[in-house]
Structure formats: structure tokens, C-alpha cells
Structure 1
Amino acid sequence: MITDGFLYLGVLLALAAVLVLVTRRTDIRLFTYVPAFVLLYICAAALNTVGVFGESESIDATGGAVQDALLPAMILLLLFKCDLRRIVKLGPKLLLTFFVAAVSIVVGFLIAFLAFRAALDAEAWKALGALSGSWTGGSANMVAIQGILEAPEDVFGYVLIVDTLLYSVWLLLMFGSVGFSERFNRWTKADTSKFETQDGPEEEGRPIDLVSLMGLIGFSLFVSATASWIGEQLPELGDVVTATTWTILIVSVLGLVIATTPMGRTAGSTEIAMVMLYVIIGIIASGSDFTSLTQAPVYLAVGIVVLLVHLVIMALYAKLTRTELFSLAVASTANIGGVASAPVVAGAFDRQLVPVGVLYALMGSFLGTFIGLTVAQLLAAV
């Protein structure tokens, strides 16, 4: 049984390193649909379930301190590539499609929560708020909301399982939609002749080196500490707007500002942010216990209802506005899947349209946390 905080953190980092190595260096098809961070969650939670991680003040203090330090830094670095000037170039119709997709998911969560509220845990609204953050942005948004709302680890484990299963199914559906895009566009009477491909984000001009790594790590952790201190000085508003919320807001706005400057193109920001994401997920997972997974089917039903509502609303929107399937599929994937999958789905339609998928996903990476917090507040109020 591990009770030392440093050893506990070392085991999580080693486990994450092994899983990333295996998923990135092998051709096993399973890893195409189940990312390494999900496997990390499962493995870390399994270790806790069998008693590898013991209850101790050292583990709690280490995990809490590391998570509090890395969460704002991770969000800051992930937003370095989110240049609003490029997002605006998408045009009003494409931007509207993205926002309709996000709103339809919010509506889906409200309907599903009301339908299954009696069977859900008392603090399910926190975990579902985190899931909505993932389904309107990405995994980083999910982790951010979990940190803000302090959703119970067990309940958070349910929604992470739901996120993984339904995301995989949805991604397959989006890929499959390419085959009937022409028939769908005829049904909506969409005009695809005027569809303009946008330019993608600029590639990093310099390779990752010691200067960029030290600069990004030092700057992001300094901003994290400063934003946390400022957040503690600001007033709390209800259950959602806490000191952590203020901290996330500060780093998010700063990240968007930096994205418009040359600093936003510093090599290595995404890679460092992903390392931080793995550490945070490992810490969260180490507090989960698989013995309470009997409630997971209820949360799976909630997720299915959310996606059905999303599908219906998007189909109606496409018919009313004569929108082509490409925009719908990529906007939906950018919300539910995030940066990793939206460009891939866009490329399945046309390789030249990949930049649109990238920009859609970047919009979600910024907005997902705030949409998820809004959903959590709505669920807590109904």
C-alpha cells in the first residue's frame, strides 16, 4: 500500500508514460478510439480499487497541491493556439452552426437531467456539468470543471466512462455520414458551391528546445500561481463562481490574448499542456473506486438522451437554414470530440477543409469550460 505522496505521484507519472508510449508506438486499432488518458483513468482507478493507494494526508496534500498548480497552467497553454482573428474568418453561417451545436447539447443535458433526476446521485449535476464541458470543448474542459465544482471522484468516473463510450460511437457515426452527405445536402437543399476553405493556423516556426520548454513551464506556472492568488481575493457568487472559477477565467482570457501575439506560436505549448492533463487525470482517477459502478448505466442513458436531442435539433436546423452536412458533422465533432477528432472528420469530407475543423475545435476548447459551468448552474437550479 502506497501512503507516501512523492511515491504516489511517481507511480501515476510512470503509468501515464507507459500508456502514452504503448498507444503512440503500436498499431492496435483499439487505441484509435480509446485514448491514453482514458486508459490512465481506468488503470489508476483500478489501482485505488484494489488498495494500492492508501488513505493518507501525504497523498491528499500532494495530489491536491499538484492539481491546483497544474490546472490553470494547462488551460493557459492549450489556448496559445486559439487565435480569435482566424475564428472570425469562418464567417457568420459556420459560426452559427457551431453555436447551434453547442446550444443543442446544453438543451439535451437539461432534458436528460429532468428525465433521470430521481435515479441520479445528489451531486450528479456537478459531474454532468463536467461532461457537458467535455461535449462542448474537450477533456481539458471536463477536468477544469471537475476541479472547480469538486465533483465526487466516483460520480466523475461514471461520466468519464460515458464520455469515452458515446464519443467513440459518435465519432464512427460522423465518419459514416460522409457516405450519404450528397443525399443529406439534397434533402436540406444546401448550396455547397460557395463553400470557401479557410486558411489553417500557422505552423510553429521553431522546433521545441530548452528555451521554449523552460519559458513555457516557468511562465505558465507563474501565471497559475498569480491567477490563483487573485482569484482568492475576488468574491464568490453562488455555487459555481468560486475562487477557482475566477482563476480559470483569468488564465483563459490571458491565453486568448497571448494567442494573438508571437508568443502564442512558441513551440511545445500543446505538448506541455498534455503532460499536465495526464497528471491531473491520474490524480482524479486515483480517488475513484470501481466498486460503485452500478450507477454507470443510468449515466449512460443520460448521455444517450443528450445525443439524441442534439441530433434532432441539428437536423431541424439544417433543414431550416439549408446547411450542408460537412458543417454539421464537424461542428458536432468539435463539440463532442474536440481538437483531436474534428480535423480528422473534416479531412474525411475533404482534406482541404481540415483547417475549418481545427478552428471549430479551438473555439470549443475556449468556450467549453464556461458552457459546462453554465450547464452545471442550470442543473443545480432546476
Structure 2
Amino acid sequence: MLTTDFQLFGAICIVLGLIFYTNGLQHRYCHWFYKIMPVMVACYFLPSLLNTFGVIAVPHSQLPELVGQYLMPSCLCLLLLGLDVRTIFSRGGKLLLLFFIGSAGIFVGGPFALKMVAMFKPELLLDSGENSLWRGMTTLAGNWVGGTANQLAVKQLYHVGDSIFAVFVTVNVLISGIWMALLLALAPHQQRLNQWLGCREALMSVATPEQQPQAMADLPKLMLLISIPLMLTGLGNALAEETAIWFSQLFPAAKAYQFDSPFMWKMILITTGSVMLSLSPARRLAIYGADKLGAVCLYLMLAIMGLKMDIRMLLSLPWFFVIGAIWLLIHIIILVVATRCLRLPFSYLAIASQCNLGGAASAPVVASAYNKALMPLAVLIAVFGYAWANFIAWASGQWMQTIH
């Protein structure tokens, strides 16, 4: 049995190496496997098998501390480094507005879905400590506005149990995957949908920025890409505890809203600092693979968190999928109403929704199916979601924990 953190980290690296090696093979069985279980899901669920079958023991592991203190903040910083705030607000226009409306749909939809399902199965509202339903739903809100990095950040913020977290990782993959497939299937029918929405053709074209080319990084650039996120993380850690104490003393009532939590302030400071870096000359480093380094941090986080997952929690999935379906439906209804009122094309609705639910990886895929000129803008708005998501998920959690 593997018990030390050195052994556990080695096991994680072996699992991740096998996943990415087999994913790169052209063998039909590998292609079939990763079509059923996407790489991101495999990086979370396969390490959990080590725990399920008693290969490892993780009750006192410090690896989850590594995630919260270093990997997750560094991941957010690297993903936000290439954010072009000026372009989003100068050229995004109505597409950005729809993105915010879609985020509002996710904020409202979670509590509404929780309340509706609780009418038929009230035991879901019972307090289960760190595995309470509302806690798991906050992580899904973080993912659906931002991405997996935000989902992991919210897990730390609300002390979400690994079992309920695993459930909503699965719910996210299935529900968001079905919605993306439906959006792609509707792309050939967008002209008919535009007529139903009362779209004005003049809104179909929009000036968008050119995507930044990727460049090979030399040693100095790589060192900067590694040191800047760690520097910002260290600064956030240093200031967070003092800020939490000062704020809770100044505003005692704020304790009810997590503002006495050092982790909450660390996320605020690191997110704000990352956006400020994206406005500085440091943004030029993004072309040297900041997003790829961020992805490395992300996959390591997923594998480490997967070590503590209890697969038995998946037996309760049907009701959780109902919650996810209702939640998504509310998001869609709000977006459809807004798009029809603003007389915007269906392509705007599809891209704005995918920027929320899919993130920077899948938003350009949907954009390419509807209007290739919108692909760079879709990427920028989806990346902006990384900065926006933590605040929406926090507010959603504050609302959902009051539902009884």
C-alpha cells in the first residue's frame, strides 16, 4: 500500500503519463475509451480507483494542501495572463452582454433547481457536512461560469467533500456535453432560428481581434512563466490572513458571507492581481505557452483531488442529473428571452452559453460552427469567465445554503 506523499505523487504522475500517452495513440480502442471518458474526466476518476481498491491510503496526505496553496492559484494566474480586457469591452458589445445574462441564469438556476427537486425528495436538503448537496452545487456553478480551475477553487472555498464533488464533476461532463452537441447540431439551422428570434441581419458581422500567435519559449521566458504565478500566489497567501482579520473586525456581520475566510481573500487578491497583470507588459508572456502551463497545473489538481473520491457516491447520480438538467434549462430560457428581446442572432446565444458552460477550450469550437469571425472573441470572453466565476459561485453558495 502507498502511504507517503512521495509515493502518492509518483503514482499520480504514472497515471497522468499513461492517460496522455494512450490518448495520443491512434489505436481504435484508445479512441473509443477517451470518447466515452474524456481526458479531463479520466484524470480525476482513474486516480480514484487507487483509493477504491485499497492501493493507497490518503487520510493524512498533504497533497490537497499543495492544490489549494500553490497549484490552483498558479493555474488561475496562468489562464488569465493572456486576457485582453480592452478588446472584450471595446468589441465584445452585445455578445459580452449575453455572456453576463447567461451567468445570471446560472446564478438563479441553481437555487431554483435545488428548491424544485427538494419538493419531491426533501432528504436531499439534509445537512451532510462537507458532502451537503448545496456545497457540491457551488462547484458546478464555478465550473459553468468559468472552468475546472474555478470548480476546484470553489471546492476549497466552501470546504466541499470529495464525494459530492465527484458527483458534480460527472454531472458537468454529461449535461454540458449534451448541450454542446445540441448547439453544434443546431448550427445548420441558424437562419431559421434567427427568423424566429427576429434577428436584425446588421448584427451578424462584428470586428474581432486577431488571435495571438504562439511562440517557443526560451529559458528566461519559462522561468518568468513559472516565477510570476508563484510570486503572486505567495503575495496572496501573505496578505490574505491579515486582510481577513482586518475585514472581520471592521465589519463583523461579514463573517456570515465568508469574508472572514483567508482563502476567500486569497482568491480575491490573486484573481484581481492576475487581471492587473494581463493589463501590464507581463501579458506578452502569454504567447509562450502560459495556457499550457496552466493546463499542467489543472491536470495535476484533478488527479490529486481524485485520490480522495468515494465512487459509491455515484449511486445517487439520477437525482443530481435532474438538478443539472433543470439548472441548464433555466439558463437556456433566460438566454432565449434575452436574445429575442435584443433581436440578436442565435449564434450569439450559442457562443455566450458555451463561453459559460464550456470555457475557453470549447467556446471557439461552437463559434467556428456558427461564425468563424467570432472565434477569437469567444476565446477572450471565455477566459474572462475565469475571473468572473469565483464571485458568481460564492454568491450562489450564499443563496443555496439558505434553502430549507
Q: Give the TM interval when normalised to the shorter protein.
A: over 0.9
What is the rounded CA distance, in whole Å, between the counterparts of 1:197 and 1:282 in structure 2? Answer: 40
Question: Where in structure 1 do 4 or more consecutive aligned residues deviate above 6 Å?
Answer: none
TM-score by length of 1: 0.94
Shift of 1:258: 1.2
Q: Retained in 2: the 8 A contact 1:73–1:273?
A: yes
Aligned to 1:104: 105
What aligned pairs does 1:287-306 form with structure 2 within 5 A after superposition?
A: 287-306=308-327
What aligned pairs does 1:225-240 form with structure 2 within 5 A after superposition?
A: 225-235=234-244, 237-238=255-256, 240=258
Shift of 1:273: 1.0
For 1:108, the aligned partner's letter is G
What is the rounded CA distance, in whole Å, between the counterparts of 2:318 and 2:257 in structure 1? Answer: 27
Count, aligned residues: 380
What aligned pairs does 1:52-131 form with structure 2 within 5 A after superposition?
A: 52-57=55-60, 60-117=61-118, 118-120=122-124, 122=127, 123-131=132-140
Q: Retained in 1: the 8 A contact 2:354–2:363?
A: yes
**1:35/1:366 Cα in 2 relative to 1: closer, same or farther (>3 Å)?**
farther
Q: Retained in 1: the 8 A contact 2:190–2:347?
A: yes
What aligned pairs does 1:25-44 form with structure 2 within 5 A after superposition?
A: 25-26=25-26, 28=31, 31=34, 34-44=37-47
Aligned to 2:50: 47
Q: Which runs of 5+ in 1 are unaligned?
A: none
Q: Retained in 1: the 8 A contact 2:243–2:265?
A: yes
Q: From 289, 301, 311, give the equivalent of 1:268.
A: 289
Q: Which moved more, 1:103-112 or 1:326-335?
A: 103-112
For 1:296, the aligned partner's letter is L
Shift of 1:32: 5.7
Shift of 1:174: 0.9
For 2:3, the aligned partner's letter is T
Shift of 1:78: 0.9
Aligned to 1:331: 352
What is the rounded CA distance, in whole Å, between the counterparts of 2:142 and 2:12 in structure 1? Answer: 25
Q: Retained in 2: the 8 A contact 1:204–1:265?
A: no
What aligned pairs does 1:239-258 form with structure 2 within 5 A after superposition?
A: 240-241=258-259, 242-258=261-277
What is the rounded CA distance, in whole Å, between the counterparts of 2:305 and 2:87 in structure 1? Answer: 34
TM-score by length of 2: 0.89
What aligned pairs does 1:152-171 form with structure 2 within 5 A after superposition?
A: 152-171=161-180
Aligned to 2:252: none
Task: Give the secondary structure class of the aligned counterpart of 1:47.
Answer: helix
Q: Which runs of 5+ in 2 are unaligned?
A: 249-254
Q: Which moved more, 1:296-305 or 1:16-25?
A: 16-25
Q: Retained in 2: the 8 A contact 1:37–1:278?
A: yes
What is the rounded CA distance, in whole Å, between the counterparts of 1:341 and 1:129 in structure 2? Answer: 22
Shift of 1:30: 5.8
For 2:158, the aligned partner's letter is L
Shift of 1:353: 2.0
**1:103/1:326 Cα in 2 relative to 1: closer, same or farther (>3 Å)?**
same
**1:74/1:179 Cα in 2 relative to 1: closer, same or farther (>3 Å)?**
same
For 1:256, the aligned partner's letter is V
Task: Find out whether 1:177 has 2:195 as its counterpart.
Answer: no
Q: Which moved more, 1:86-95 or 1:269-278?
A: 86-95
Q: Retained in 2: the 8 A contact 1:231–1:247?
A: yes
What is the rounded CA distance, in whole Å, between the counterparts of 2:123 and 2:351 in structure 1? Answer: 33
Aligned to 1:13: 13
What is the rounded CA distance, in whole Å, between the counterparts of 1:119 and 1:333 in structure 2? Answer: 33
For 1:73, the aligned partner's letter is S
For 1:311, the aligned partner's letter is I
Q: Which moved more, 1:274-283 or 1:13-22?
A: 13-22
Task: Give the secondary structure class of the aligned counterpart of 1:193.
Answer: helix
Shift of 1:239: 5.2
Shift of 1:265: 2.4
Shift of 1:91: 4.3
For 2:106, the aligned partner's letter is I
Could you report, residue by residue, the CA deviation over 1:173-215 in whole angstroms, capped at 9, with x for unpaired residues? Answer: 1101212111111111101234333333552464122222221
Q: Which moved more, 1:307-316 or 1:332-341?
A: 307-316
What is the rounded CA distance, in whole Å, between the counterparts of 2:318 and 2:56 in structure 1? Answer: 27
Aligned to 1:373: 394
**1:34/1:367 Cα in 2 relative to 1: closer, same or farther (>3 Å)?**
farther
Task: Find out whether 1:147 has 2:156 as its counterpart.
Answer: yes
Q: Retained in 1: the 8 A contact 2:183–2:350?
A: yes
Q: Which moved more, 1:21-30 or 1:161-170?
A: 21-30
Aligned to 2:251: none
What aligned pairs does 1:335-346 form with structure 2 within 5 A after superposition?
A: 335-346=356-367
**1:23/1:179 Cα in 2 relative to 1: closer, same or farther (>3 Å)?**
same
What is the rounded CA distance, in whole Å, between the counterparts of 2:21 and 2:218 in structure 1? Answer: 21
What is the rounded CA distance, in whole Å, between the counterparts of 1:186 and 1:246 in structure 2? Answer: 47
